[in-house]
Amino acid sequence: MAPVLEKHASQTRLFAKIVRQTWFRSIAKLIERITIPGILLHYAFRKKYISDLARSALANGLAQVVIVGAGFAPLSYELQRDFPTGEFWEIDHPATQRHKVRACSEIGIERVHYLAVDLSATGVDRETLINTRFDPAKRTFWIAEGLLMYFPADIVLSLIRTLSTLSPSRQRVCIYVYGKTPGRPNSIRFANQTC
């Protein structure tokens, strides 16, 4: 995915060039040690764990994967490449999704459907999702990774209620959130829920 994104913006190419430099990696590791030790390894393991869960679900007959707040992560692209019978959706903020859709249109992604939704302003519209070939009768794996802690409780509850009506008896949900550690203002506590 990174090589595709690099083609589209000079800022992205510049950033990618800087990130590849040894001095940048040294500075990044130092900043990580000072701020949140282990966070990069945590991200890598978290991504791998969620990918493994989705792959296991697809290998065991699950038909659909919906990623809420996918960002620039390549998971849906990788899954559609490796599981030719699956269908995949990304629900994401329009500003983020615009760039990803433009980049992905050039590499032949066929079974990833994109819904541009500002979750802080509106919820996921059931009919809009269904109009993109989503089938509520099919088994679905929902992913909301590192997203929900940014929203107020009422928006989170509304989103979860909506998702539960979209595939009520045949779904798996993976939600990953983190929050502040009580009494330690400069640290975060990781909690893995409902995977």
Q: Are residues 29 and 72 in the same domain?
A: no
Q: Which domain holds residue 47?
A: 39-193
Q: Are residues 5 and 71 in the same domain?
A: no
Query: Looking at residue 176, what is its pLDDT?
Result: 62
Query: Looking at residue 195, what is its pLDDT?
Result: 40
Side by side, the strands of the sheet bearing 171-181 are 112-116, 87-92, 64-68, 140-145, 171-181, 184-193
pLDDT tens-digit map of 65-91: 999 998 888 899 999 999 999 999 999
How many structural domains is the chain composed of?
Answer: 2
Q: Are residues 112 and 154 in the same domain?
A: yes
**Residue-by-residue pLDDT tens, the chain, 195 positions:** 455 555 555 656 777 788 788 998 899 888 888 988 888 888 888 889 999 999 999 999 999 999 999 888 889 999 999 999 999 999 999 988 888 887 777 777 778 999 999 988 888 888 999 999 999 989 899 998 888 888 888 998 888 888 888 876 666 676 666 655 556 554 444 444 444
Inter-residue contact 69 to 91 (CB < 8 Å):
yes
